[in-house]
Amino acid sequence: MKSMAEVIKKIVLHTVAVYVAMIASVIFAMLLILIIPGAGQAATPIGRVLEAPYWLPQVACGAAVGWFVRRRLSMANGGWGIIIPAALLAGNVLMEGLRMRAYTPLVEIYFSANSGATEGRYKVVFTAPLYTAVAYPLGAMAAKLIKTEPREVKPEPGASPA
């Protein structure tokens, strides 16, 4: 059985990896908006998948970093990275729910594209990292399941060995 210190270390390392993926996804989304003209507009199809409720850059970067961490750093149990973002989101949803906001449902604040400009910070700070954290262990699982070995370069028949 692993010690509590080892478990806490894994939680911290995976959480840091999730937030690195989140930062990378924001940069990736900004680059997409610069390169593709319609990406910054919620009225276009690509603009809709970049924002809530889809968060495609966050999901893609979370899976990519999960893959990388599993393959290169050999860190197992990527699911530990979900704990902190989920706890932060749950705590914030609970605090918002206790305030009894009658004018905007909580689901719209955190997961809808129609929440308005004032609730955007909730999505970026709480919801988007959770999407990244959910995709992170999926990328790690994919890296575990799809084992790619380095290919040997075979000389062509009749070629002289170097």
Q: Is residue 42 in some structural domain?
A: yes
CB atoms within 10 A of CB 82: 20
pLDDT of residue 4: 85
Q: What is the dihedral of CA 106, 56, 12, 122, to 10 degrees?
A: -30
Sign of the CA dihedral with 113 first, then 50, 67, and 89 last: negative
Q: How many CA atoms lie within 13 A of 147 on its CB side?
A: 3
Q: Output DSSP code: residue 114.
A: T
Q: Is residue 101 in some structural domain?
A: yes
Q: Is residue 159 in some structural domain?
A: no
Q: What range defines the domain where residue 111 resides?
A: 4-145
Q: Is residue 56 in some structural domain?
A: yes
pLDDT of residue 109: 63
pLDDT tens across the length of the chain (162 residues)? 578 888 888 888 889 999 999 999 989 988 988 998 888 777 788 888 887 777 888 999 999 999 998 888 877 788 888 888 989 888 887 877 777 656 666 666 666 666 555 556 677 778 888 889 999 999 988 888 887 665 566 667 766 655
Total count of domains within the chain: 1
Q: Is residue 9 in some structural domain?
A: yes
pLDDT of residue 125: 78
pLDDT of residue 162: 53
Q: Is residue 151 in some structural domain?
A: no
SS3 state at 31: helix
Q: Is residue 106 in some structural domain?
A: yes
Q: How many helices (H) and strands (E) does the chain have?
A: 7, 0
